[in-house]
Structure 1
């Protein structure tokens, strides 16, 4: 999947590295005996939010999926892209959900969390 941010094509990759990136940003973090631990599970948390059209979650997801670009857009750049009235945000939500459903790394979690 590809989007255009600041006039530049941005490739989105929803593979294993994307899930690791997402786990770092939105994973389940617990502090046990003073030690902070990340337990992952970000897809479990963000898929329901994505299905309910949470634009902040969409922004984080796009940022994480852009990991493979030589010049990765900042989260602020992605926010501006989403705020742009020329961006068809409804279609973007649908497209991202379809990409997750077809991604080998995210497919099972997406299927198991159907609304």
Structure 2
């Protein structure tokens, strides 16, 4: 997935490192042990409430390994002024259903939510 922001093209990859980055943001702490829950918690916010903050977290995590790197302020400004957030959420969900790493869990979650 690619986005052009302020004349720069940024690439987003929804792979293993994306999941690891999300697990740093969304996790469960059980007796001092952290369990990553990035995709599960973030996806619920992205699909259920269409939360723009969750969208920002997903995009930052997906760009973390790519070049050029997208800064949080640049992304926030883009989302606040130029982005069609609903379309971008839909595009992000589509990418998640196509990524080899996320498609199984995301497709199952979407099917469960539809029923």
Task: Judge conservation of contact 2:60–2:70 (CA < 8 Å) in 1.
Answer: yes
How far apart are 1:31 and its partner, in Å?
5.2
Aligned to 1:110: 106
Shift of 1:19: 0.4
TM-score when scaled to structure 2? 0.87
Name the residue aligned to 1:50.
46
Q: Which has the higher contact order (CA 8 A, sep 6+)?
A: 1
- CA distance, structure 2, for counterparts of residue 59 and residue 100 of structure 1: 15
Q: Secondary structure at the match of 2:9?
A: strand
Give aligned pairs, total: 110
Structure 2 residue corresponding to 1:74, chosen from 71, 76, 85: 71
The CA RMSD measured in Å over matched residues stands at 1.4
Offset from partner CA, 1:18-77 (integer Å, 9 cap, x none): 00111112222x152xxx432112111011110121000000110000012233122221
TM-score by length of 1: 0.87
Q: Distance in 2 between matches of 1:42 and 1:69?
A: 19
